[in-house]
Structure 1
Amino acid sequence: MTAVAPDSTGAAGGTQQQILSARGLIKTFGRVVGLDGVDLDLYRGEVLAIIGDNGAGKSTLIKCLTGALVPDAGTLELDGKRVHFQRPQDARDAGIETVYQQLAVIPALDIASNLYLAREERRAGPLGSVLRMLDKKGMRERAGKAVQELGIQTIQNMGQAVETLSGGQRQAVAVSRAAAFGGKVVVLDEPTAALGVKESNQVLEMVKSLRAKGLGVILISHNMPQVWEVADRIHIQRLGGRAGVITPQSHSMTDGVGIMTGAMKLEG
């Protein structure tokens, strides 16, 4: 078999434009090699899935892309410009939002407050600049718009406490926040891991909505059927390196698992 090069057109149509590129990423932890010269490319309006067995380097790769870890060697480019992320806030400021498997939401706060967590907006004029009053009404309106743009029908009241929501609805809040502020790239780490079938399908629809908005989406998942359903390309990690990049059209799930485990190798 041969490794698959990215198509010239994306899922959203038109010519693909590279938005995120990594070259030769190396990360070691003492004698343990987390990443061994990994390359990665992400395009606008694309869902790039990253799969691999436990210990393959998926989490280390994502952390290096989003500022949670600083690679020992290698380069990152965002929109064709070299970037150096020293912390997650650097990546967020550059337009990369991450939704981790352990949701970073505060149950006691309402939906709007969670969407604007650490990004609170103040009221206009002296009320905001002098009295430092928050624009709660405006934030709720904009939060509602962000949720509606993703096609989420199960959340209507932006003043509802997150602790009253289901697991799928909480995931929707986290994804909505990423979509609202991730101007370029959204990274989703196992977004359906703890969800039932119905809620998982809702999250997958949100992933498709992010792609339709023209964002670059990186999806880390162990759920092969879901990967083959939504991914445009699939980056396979094995033993800290990139084993290959395939597409759901070119390779079956059985092929993907075989490459992950080393039972099958890509040529080229």
Structure 2
Amino acid sequence: METLQIGKTIITWLNGGVTHMDGGAMFGVVPKPLWSKKYALNEKNQIELRTDPLLIQKNGLNILLETGIGSGKLTEKQMRNYGVEEESSVEESLKKLGLTTEDIHYVLMTHMHFDHACGLTKWENGSLTSVFPKAKIMTSSIEWKEMQHPNIRSANTYWKQNWEAVKDQVTTFDSTISILDGLEMHHTGGHSDGHSIVILQDGGETLVHMADLMPTHAHENPLWVLAYDDYPMTSIENKQKWIEFGKQRQAWFTFYHDAVYRGIKWNGKGEIVDKLDRIKHK
């Protein structure tokens, strides 16, 4: 498992599974000859997208950022359509670190699309239960409202089986919330109306987790937004704002979906000055 240290805070990537999604949808109006130079694709025009949660260990707390694709949650048709070749093994990843799911204090949900939220619940004795029973689950109030009452478009990704069993654990915020000193969530909208990003600052260092505003390193251009984005102009506006925020602070930009890098530092010219590669296990 790859790790990154920001000040005294340790970030570890867990194994949350993998999907393969249509490359055209993931890059919106960007022509294939451009995006295919920056990110590999398969014969089905799909790109590999990890769904690997980040474990943030700070001030004696265990904080999970996103939850993975889950295990045993998808039908065979869904597995095929979303190109799921590997399901989550988050519990096993935690065990390697000497932890259990009951040791998680917070779960930070940038948004609650199925590929981020399936790992919140699991089947146990014929019913769905919370995977992290002692955790506070944090998400924006807008996201939580739409999760429970999706519209005709979002019903495809906001699933009852991912929220009903954990509803008593959820705490929401409107604009910004400080989880603890130096760790904040900021509502951005864009990808979804309730989408948020995470900012971590410790020891003079900064980490920016853009979530699905910048799902991979190939989305660094503010104009390269997803066809899945509900509000693309809001995505562009917030990408400009927060990418500049990070670059000014020589921040690490971290990823949940990227199959190549766990994190990257860019300079003002968009050149990579530091990177953390994803270790590819056979």
Structure 2 length-normalised TM: 0.31
Larger proportion of helix: 1
Larger Rg: 1
The structure whose residues are more often strand, as a share, is: 2
Relative contact order higher in (CA < 8 Å, ≥ 6 apart): 1
